[in-house]
Structure 1
Amino acid sequence: MYPGSALGEFLRSRRARLQPEDVGLRSGVRHRRVAGLRREELAPLAGVSVGYYTRLEQGQSPNVSEEVLDSVARVLRLDDDEVAHLHRLARVTRAREKARPERLRPGIGRMVDSFTETPAIAVGRRGDILAWNPLAHALLAPHWPFEAEEKPNFVRVDFLETDFSRGLYADWEQKARDDIAYLEGSLGRFPGDEGLTALIEELLTLSPEFRTLWTEHPVSNCASIARAYRHPDVGVMTLTAEFLRTPDDEGQGVTMFQAEAGSPSEERLRRLAGSVRRPASAQPAGR
């Protein structure tokens, strides 16, 4: 289980995607006991011994060079996001300081509340919604009390409240993969976050869908994602979620949801905004 075997699990998942023919080798035998590329096939192509590569997958090569990682990434045909993730995992194998408790930064909370025509949320490294404005609440979780001190974790909702989440997202499976990619990225940055690993263990236990998708270890920077939402009041909207990380990169960031200018989605989002009442606590103070 992550994070102790993070590097090995990730590398094995990427080896499983390739066949010998993909890297210019003959398959050799008709029936292969291991899916995908074998260690002894990958290692020579990456310019390392089989023993060294085996230790790398086992997390026993804390001083692995960037050159070796890049060579392995080349053989595995990793994209830019996956290469960055590989380097993070290799570094944190030897650095697992306990993560500090996560608290909403007041300035981020004020920023989120300042948006009135744009759904906006503050998100933590575990997928917890730390703050939201009324329009984001109406879009993402109208069944959840807006003023509740404990707000939802979007990954937990997507996998454990599937009647709701499958109705909201036109492509639920892609949203689920993006959720796991978000957790993968956080785990690469914060391997000492016990709450994060507890959440993953919970979802592995309770959600068959999560167990299946987790074995694939999807990776993405989740910075800009277009998605179709099926809102029960205004209909289908295609919105782009832009995730802005805080400069100190403690995993906390702000996501804003925007529609293309002049599109039917923009008009539907405007209608949704018109139907939302801002709570008294969010109303501008009178003079």
Structure 2
Amino acid sequence: MQRAQLADFLRSRRAALRPGDVGLRPDASRRRTPGLRRDEVALLSGISTDYYTRLEQRRGPVPSGQVLASMARALRLTGGEREYLFELAGRAAPPRAESPDEVAPGLRRVLDRLGDVPAMVSDALGRTLLQTPAATALLGDESRYAGPARSRAYRWFTDPGARRHFPAADHDRHARTLVAGLAAASAAAGPRSTATALVGELRRRSPEFAAIWATQPVADAVCPPKRIVHPQLGVIDVRGDNLIDPDRSQVLTIFTAEAVEGD
């Protein structure tokens, strides 16, 4: 364990965060130093303040893998920073999940600051990991699903109810966009990946998916404009702007409702 380097690394990452970055309400008192306090990092990590303080003072015990993972989440570390944290502690970092449920720290920091803006974070399989309240009001709660149905592509081709949020005239275009996105995810992750398994399942279950797949659609680099059928507002023209975290294969989409029409 490299105590000095570990202590310096923890202090630097703690100083780089603000309470709002991690979902804490800023206090009214003036802080003597920038960044989070030690007790705030300890609270977010599920460890005692004394334990965390001793780590920063170069006199703590060797943290367990569970403690290191908790501190990495609390400090919103990137994948590379997380591995470096484990290395400093003298432990092997567990392998990264192929499509982790945890939102990439950088994207979470941006999402936390968007306030009332409709935005959400999705992974390469089209699984919604986190939404702002405004996005839930616009699109519904897309994070409530379990199993394969977490993928919006899977729901589109297996659940007719998934299409009610889009005008019928747009169904073909939306279907091709979903297939192209899943094709890109499968190509990037490889033949033994969850994405490829999902493709195989959809090709078996949905003749429509299989037919589109055979045309080899290619995903656009941008989120294409779309129309959403809102239960109260009618048809809304929506533009989506994407911010991609390449390290975690996740995307933050910020939606702008450009106009409202009568249904």
In structure 1, C-alpha distance between the alignment counterparts of 2:238 and 2:136, rounded to whole Å: 15
Do the aligned residues in 2 keep the contact of 1:126 with 1:183 (CA within 8 Å)?
Answer: yes
Partner of 1:102: 99
Output the CA distance in 2 between the equivalents of 1:140 and 1:173: 19
* Match of residue 169 from structure 1: 166
- Does 187-196 or 197-206 show the bigger shift? 187-196
Matching of residue 111 in structure 1 with residue 95 in structure 2: no
Spell out the pairing of 1:1-287 with structure 2 (5 A cutoff). 100-103=97-100, 104-142=103-141, 152-165=150-163, 167-170=164-167, 171-192=170-191, 194-248=193-247, 250-260=248-258, 263-264=259-260
Report the TM-score, using the length of structure 2 for normalisation.
Answer: 0.54
Whether the 8 Å contact between 1:185 and 1:221 is mirrored in structure 2 is no
Residues 194-216 of structure 1, C-alpha deviations (whole Å, 9 max, x = no match)? 21111111111222221121111
Secondary structure at 2:190 match in 1? coil
Amino acid at match of 2:165: L
- The alignment partner of 1:256 has SS state of strand
Alpha-carbon separation, structure 2, partners of 1:243 and 1:115: 14
Q: CA deviation at 1:108?
A: 2.2
Shift of the 118–227 alpha-carbon distance from structure 1 to 2, 3 Å rule, reads same
Task: Give RMSD over aligned pairs.
Answer: 2.8
Q: Quick one: percent identity of the two aligned structures? A: 26
Structure-2 separation of matches of 1:174 and 1:235: 20
CA distance in 1, matches of 2:233, 2:128: 23
Residue 211 to residue 240, structure 1, CA distance change in 2 (3 Å): same
8 Å Cα contact 1:99/1:193 also seen in 2: no
Q: 1:157 to 1:149 in 2, by over 3 A?
A: closer
Please state how far the C-alpha of 1:99 moved relative to its aligned partner. 8.2
The amino acid that maps onto 2:174 is K
CA distance in 1, matches of 2:156, 2:255: 18
Count of residues paired in the alignment: 163
1:224–1:202 CA distance, 2 compared to 1 (3 A)? same
Distance 2:153 2:234 in 1: 23
Tell me the CA shift for residue 222 of structure 1. 4.2
Distance 1:169 1:135, change over 3 A: same
Instruction: Encode CA deviations 1:58-90: one digit per residue, 9 max, x unaligned.
Output: xxxxxxxxxxxxxxxxxxxxxxxxxxxxxxxxx
**Unaligned stretches of 5+ in structure 1?**
1-97, 269-287
TM-aligned CA deviation for residue 110 of structure 1: 4.0
Q: Say which SS state the counterpart of residue 245 (structure 1) adopts.
A: strand
Query: Closer, same or farther in 2 for the Cα pair 1:169/1:184, shift >3 Å?
Result: same
Q: 1:125-158, CA deviations, whole angstroms, 9 ceiling, x for partnerless residues?
A: 111112112222232234x675x78883211121
Give distance in 2, aligned partners of 1:230 and 1:237: 6
Q: Tell me how far 1:223 sits from its aligned partner.
A: 1.1
Q: 1:192 to 1:211 in 2, by over 3 A?
A: closer
Q: TM-score, normalised by structure 1?
A: 0.50
Shift of 1:189: 2.0
* Residues 143 and 150 in structure 2, CA contact (< 8 A), matched pair in contact too: no
Measure how far apart 1:247 and its partner are.
Answer: 4.2
Following the alignment from structure 2 to structure 1, what is the Cα–Cα distance between the partners of residues 131 and 173? Answer: 23
SS in 2 for 1:101: coil
Q: 1:99 to 1:145 in 2, by over 3 A?
A: closer
| Aligned match of 2:75 | none
Task: Work out whether residues 116 and 133 of structure 2, in 8 Å CA contact, stay in contact via their aligned partners in 1.
Answer: no
